[in-house]
Amino acid sequence: MDFWSRLIAGTSLSPSTPSKAAFNDPVKRLARFRREYSQLLQEWRHVTNLSKDSDTADTIRACLRNINKFLSDESRLPSPHPCLSFSAQNQIYVSAAKIATVSYNEDIIREAITLFSTLIESEEEDFIENEAFSQSLMNLLARITGANSIRLNSETEVDVIELAFGIAAKIRLQPEILPAWFTTGDVSSEDEDKGHHERFAGKTSKEDFPLFYLLVDYIHHEGRIGDFARTGLLYIIESASISMPLEQWLVESDLATLMATGLGALYSQLSRKLVIDYPEDGLPLILAMSDFKHPRATADIVSSTSTDFQGHMDTFLSHLVFWQDVLDHCKSVEVKQTLLEHFQVIFLQQLLYPSLLESSDADGGSSVAVLTYLRRVLESVEHPDMIHLILNYLLALPDTTMLESVASTKSLASEARKRKSMNLATMGTQQSTPDLFNLVDLIIGSLRSKSVQTITVTLQLFSVILRRHHRYAVSTLLRTTRVVTDGPQKLVGAHQMELAYILDLANDISVQDGFDEIYDGHIKDATNLLESHPCSHQLIVPVGISKPPGKQSTIPGTPQDVHHHTLRPDDPILRTLLSILSGRPRNMRIYEH
């Protein structure tokens, strides 16, 4: 029928697609492009309700798809590019955004997103610097991702956030385009007599920087969409160091509050009661050779091998790592300090410490849970400022962070941060503090518990602090005596004689063959422990090579290098450990003086 229809109508029997030669002709290409755009507008203007007219929706989708193909193919051809110029002059993106907004059709929405992506990737006509372009795009994205919008599938959502990520990446590389996407709003007549910082204070909103809030809404998602959102947000925060208005806006905005409450929400989703278990194929050898029985999980008590629990824990730790990435990328001192203050007050003071304070062995394992969570936090955190805040607060060390400016400048961002610091300080005074019961008390009390699991997780936590954060443990968890090295030192010959005597003694009492191999293995293990210890990093650098500065905290009061010291015999943790190993009652005195 198609053959006879074409013959009667007198049309060509060849396919309707244009030849390559016709497409390479800029004049003919533009003519076809304009026809497609005219048909798009005509279909849109003559439809009453696009969301209920499927035939018109299909035609509009086809027009948008053809327009995208014209633009994509033209961008790969040598100049001139008349279709791109026509798109810029006639602002076809405005119509495309409006059509997609009212269509409630995911296929049309996806073609509109592709159109914006194609125009940005063309890097011509300065689309990304155009305020009309940015407003049209952000209005579209706000409508299709809002609470009352159409439910998009995962692929379309990824396209949306990938587009937002691409814009954030261009802002990072081309700071001059920031004004098209970020504005602090117009100044009303009643605010004209106010100072600049007074007009700015408390006036931040989503309308100022919708791209920023779009990325914030997706930072908790998993997979590619979460990766795009988090990385895009990092790029925007990094740009604050080269834009004073953006720096002040970030300080005044609820970025720090959203991040801290988001981290707290993920922490609150973790089970309050936990039992430590091992998978069948991962049981330690010493337990496999014993009469070990797997603990039973209940409706209230979750096993550490549970898939759901591990998923919640991984999500929480990944967001904690994102906090570190934000602080690493943030070059603005004021923004960084604002984030740290919210991390301390909202997460540490209102969530983490109260959970430690309220934990108990009597209710079925809450101590095991919170001690395990704290250990995982300290294992994951590497940023020195975050480490300092956590341990400085939980160990009840002198507070040198809150309400103390790290910069002596009188910038507007600094003044804004000080105002928020005062509010946070008021909030923090309403919470319990570790002055009467700190992490040292919790560890000592947990080591004296009758629960084997509580003792086990406490030893794991204690080990992490000693291995990774030794500077904080020397004067708090441990009672030490400083070793004075000014006196005479042992000679190498005397040391070798003592070592030979000890080796002969060990060889005489050994009941196993291959003593040399056993000793070599012990030496390798001891060497690995020493080299991996944080205090050894500056000592293992070869002579003649400048020592690396190391990653130090920028917060005042951070413990510095640890002096040579020895553990005192009356150290409470040492006495408790010896009591556990000896099997004696907890209250029995180990040393008699």
CA distance 233 to 169: 9
Q: How much is the mean pLDDT over the chain?
A: 81
Same domain, 283 and 380: yes
Q: Is 248 exposed, middle or buried (0-12, 13-18, 19+ CB in 10 A)?
A: buried
Please, which pLDDT band fits residue 558 given cuts at 50, 70 and 90? low
Range of the domain at 61: 16-184+203-253
Please, which residues bridge with residue 482 across strands? 565
Specify the pLDDT at position 180: 93
- Give the lowest-confidence range in 40-54, 398-412, 443-457: 398-412
Q: Which of 251, 257, 91, 221 is nearest to 145 (CA)?
A: 221
- 295, pLDDT greater than 80: no
| Whether residue 241 is found in the same domain as residue 278 | no
pLDDT at 443: 92
Confidence of residue 420 (pLDDT cuts 50, 70, 90): low
Name which residue leads in pLDDT, 296 or 438. Answer: 438
Q: Are 461 and 425 contained in the same domain?
A: yes
- Residue 534 lies inside a defined structural domain of this protein: no
- CATH of residue 242's domain is 1.25.10
Domain co-membership, 163 together with 278: no
* Within-domain flag for 559: no
Indicate the pairing of strand 480-482 with strand 565-567: antiparallel
Q: What is the mean pLDDT of residues 324-351?
A: 92
Q: Per-residue pLDDT averaged across 539-564, rounded?
A: 62
Number of domains in the chain: 2
State how far the Cα of 183 lies from the Cα of 411, in Å rounded to an integer.
19
Read off the pLDDT of each residue in 84-97 and give the average, rounded to a whole number.
93
Within the chain, how many helices (H) and strands (E) appear? 27, 4
Q: Among 474, 496, 517, where does a domain finish?
A: 474
Q: With respect to residue 248, please indicate whether it lies within any of the assigned structural domains.
A: yes
Residue 585 falls inside a structural domain: no
Q: Check residue 302 and give its pLDDT.
A: 84
- Residue 132, pLDDT > 70, answer yes
pLDDT reported for residue 563: 76
How many Å separate Cα 422 from the centre of its chain? 26
Is residue 565 included in any domain, yes or no?
Answer: no
Q: In the prediction, which pLDDT does 10 show?
A: 45
Which of 231-235, 283-287, 321-325 is the least confident region? 283-287
pLDDT attached to residue 234: 94
Pick the most confident of 44-53, 233-242, 563-572, 583-592. Answer: 233-242
486 within a domain of the structure (yes/no): no
Looking at the fold, whether 351 and 236 belong to one and the same domain comes out as no
Residue 519 has pLDDT above 80, yes or no: yes
**Long-range CB contacts for residues 530-534, cutoff 8 Å, separation at least 24:** 532/467, 533/467, 533/470, 534/467, 534/468, 534/469, 534/470, 534/471
96 and 142, same structural domain? yes
pLDDT of the residue at 365: 65
Last residue of a domain, one of 215, 233, 253: 253
What is the rounded average pLDDT of the residues 127-146? 92
pLDDT category of residue 419 using cuts at 50, 70 and 90: low
Same-domain check for residues 249 and 262: no
b or e along 442-472 (b: 16 or more beta carbons within 10 Å of the residue's beta carbon)? bbbebbbbeeebbbebbbebbebbbebbbbb
Please tell me the predicted confidence (pLDDT) of residue 2.
Answer: 46
Q: Are residues 233 and 263 in the same domain?
A: no
Given a cut of 80, whether residue 426 has pLDDT beyond it is no
Could you tell me if residue 459 is inside a domain? yes
Please report whether residue 374 resides in a domain: yes
Same domain, 359 and 448: yes
User: Higher model confidence: residue 35 or residue 503?
Assistant: 35
What's the rounded Cα separation, in Å, for the pair 164 and 145?
12
Residue 316, pLDDT above cutoff 90: yes
Q: What is the mean pLDDT of residues 465-476?
A: 85
Give the helix/strand (H/E) hosting 256.
helix 255-268
Domain end among 422, 441, 474 = 474
Give pLDDT, residue 140.
93
pLDDT for the residue numbered 554:
59
CA-to-CA separations, 78 to 24, 29, 74, 82, in angstroms, rounded: 10, 13, 8, 11
Dist. CA 171–CA 239, nearest whole Å = 8
Q: Is the peptide bond before 80 cis (omega within 30 degrees of 0)?
A: yes
- Please state the separation of Cα 426 from the chain's center in Å: 27
154 pLDDT higher than 60: yes
Looking at mean pLDDT, say which of 79-88, 506-515, 563-572 comes out highest.
Answer: 79-88
pLDDT at position 467 is 86
**Co-location of 301 and 243 in the same domain:** no
Q: What is the pLDDT of residue 189?
A: 42
Q: Based on the domain organization, do 463 and 423 belong to the same domain? A: yes
Q: Are 419 and 439 in the same domain?
A: yes
